Amino acid sequence: MPAPDPRPLAIACPPSQTAASPGGNPVSVSYPAPTTSGGAVGANGVSLATVVCTPSSASLFPVGTTDVRCTATGAGETASCSFAVTVTPPIPRLSRTRFLAFGDSMTSGEVSQATLARLGDGAPNYRLIVIPAASYPTQLLTRLRARYTAQTAALDVINAGKPGEWAEDGAVRLPGVLSVSRPEVVLLLEGLNELSALGPSGVQRATLAIDAMAKEVRNRGLRLFLATLPPTRSTGPRALPASLIQSLNSQIRATATGEGAVLVDLHGALLTDVTRFIGPDGAHPTEAGYQKIADTFLSAIRADLELRIP
């Protein structure tokens, strides 16, 4: 006859377990058996309790955390414990890691800040200031490094924004910048200054320049992410007619298709909350707007350059 242990039946589960899933699929995880004490014991002093764990050891566990519950039963007593099995997903990676952000003040990180009084006779009640830390290239690099942790050292987003630049001047400047910086990917956002200065006649001039830059990038074997112009804020003094922005954006979409570029729809992304994303001058994004631009570029980069796990 088994000798009763004066202690009540107890069960101790193993510590939580961790396993990696190289392909993102469920993986088999084996874990140590729980230990029991108390209750009925055999002649050798070993507990005679029966232990059942669900899911059982060596079962397939999906990515994420699964609770395992173990129950010991013996001589009319039961005891339970639980522990976690965590399966980690594969670390995401990019096929290209060196980015060049090319454009005008919206790339450099210029924002318009409201002032309490007008800055001079007839001057607007805002000032323009470049904040590099707020720029979308800086924000994008932070996001890339947070996601692609295995490639942190290789990742870079070079900010080649030049305030006040027309797309025509950008087309002249771009080849030299590409030769010096040697990127693998180009993020292009240009064209607003032609529209601001020339109105409808600026659409064709900006289009020709953007086409030329897209061809330059393609001919060098680089990946191009071509952005539409964000909307302007109608209450700002530098706001442009929505039809004018849409006219150039239609040409930008056509260029992206013709040159095999990835279209990044900044206009649609910032149009969701123009008052929050565009500053008091009506044209430049706010810091929140630049964060939204970075998020939109990141989504496009993930969809196009993130390596697929077989």
Neighbours of 29 (CB within 10 A): 20
What pLDDT does residue 284 have?
95
127-155: pLDDT as tens digits = 889 999 999 999 999 999 999 999 999 99
CA-angle at 79, arms to 78 and 83, nearest 5°: 145
* Pairwise CA distance, residues 228 & 188, whole Å: 9
Q: Which residues contact 165 (CB under 8 A, 6 or more apart)?
A: 103, 104, 105, 173, 190, 193
Measured distance CA(274)–CA(282) in Å, rounded: 9
Distance CA 191, CA 209 (A): 8
Q: What is the mean pLDDT of the chain?
A: 93
pLDDT at 266: 98
In a 3-state reduction of DSSP, which class is residue 302? helix
108/162 Cα distance (integer angstroms):
6
Cα 282 to Cα 76, 108, 236, distances in angstroms: 77, 17, 4
Whether residue 140 contacts residue 296, with contact meaning beta carbons closer than 8 Å, is answered with no
Q: What is the Cα–Cα distance from 68 to 110, expressed in whole angstroms?
A: 53
74 contacts 39 by C-beta, under 8 angstroms: yes
- Distance from the Cα of residue 6 to its chain's centroid: 59
Q: Nearest-CA neighbor of 189 among 285, 279, 305?
A: 285
Q: Quick check: 124 and 148 in contact, CB under 8 A?
A: no
Phi, then psi, of 193 in degrees rounded to 5: -70, -30
User: Which residues of the chain have a pLDDT value below 70?
Assistant: 1-6, 43-45, 115-125, 310
Q: Can you point out the beta strands (E) in the chain?
A: 3-12, 17-20, 27-29, 35-41, 50-54, 59-61, 64-74, 77-88, 98-103, 110-114, 126-130, 156-161, 185-189, 223-227, 262-264
